[in-house]
Amino acid sequence: NLLDQAIEASGTESTRIVLGGFSQGGTVAILAGLSYPRKLAGIISISGWGAYRQSLPPKVLEANKATPVLFSCGKGDPIVTFPLTHQTGEVLQSIMGDNASIMHVERPCHPPESTEMMAAAKFIQAQLNL
């Protein structure tokens, strides 16, 4: 596992890692983070979507059932459309409850706005107690 290799090489505890990504990277962060067998500090997805939305709940391992998740999407994103991201947000909310923070941002493009990047920075600071 790539994450295990990075943890071993760096000596960083998994509980000090916030896994995140943009677009397809956000999709990978959600699935990899929630199915990772060691506790993570947090998961961030910006302009991503949930792969395996209907079958995601059993893929979430015990270690990360309570891991905070920040999921941000644009209402006018022409690449990853709002119906897809809205459904993903609902699935994450149903699985993670209050541990999922869902942001629906009024933006007409795929790249994130500064408010999303600031929210991600604050999320990382909060999860890592910086």
Calculate Rg over the CA atoms of the chain. Answer: 14
Q: Does 23 participate in catalysis according to the annotation?
A: yes
Residue positions counted in the chain = 130
- For the beta carbon of residue 13, count every other beta carbon within 10 angstroms: 12
Element containing residue 92 per DSSP (H, E): helix 82-96
Determine which one of 45, 72, 77, 101 is catalytic: 77
Determine which one of 23, 45, 47, 101 is catalytic: 23
* Nearest-angstrom CA–CA distance, 45 and 68: 11
* Nearest-angstrom CA–CA distance, 108 and 105: 9
Q: Does 114 participate in catalysis according to the annotation?
A: no
Paired with 72 in beta bridges are 46, 103
Enzyme catalytic residues? 23, 77, 110
